[in-house]
Amino acid sequence: MRKQAILALGLVLGSMSLMGCVPVAIGAGGAIAADTIAEDRGNDLF
């Protein structure tokens, strides 16, 4: 029983950490896309 509780806790904490990383990855992808577009137009965003 204790092993199952530890496994369940690990799954919950792991999924919470992954959910936190997804918006960061999407935001970074958006920043890269915005920088690429700005460089194509002749501006340097970063």
pTM of the model: 0.49
Top pLDDT among 46 and 26 is at 26
Give the start-to-end residue ranges of the domains of the chain: 22-46
pLDDT tens by residue, 1-43: 577 777 777 777 777 666 677 677 778 888 888 888 888 888 7
The 10 Å CB-count burial string (b at 16+, else e) for 7-21 is eeeeeeeeeeeeeee
Question: Residue 22: what pLDDT?
Answer: 66
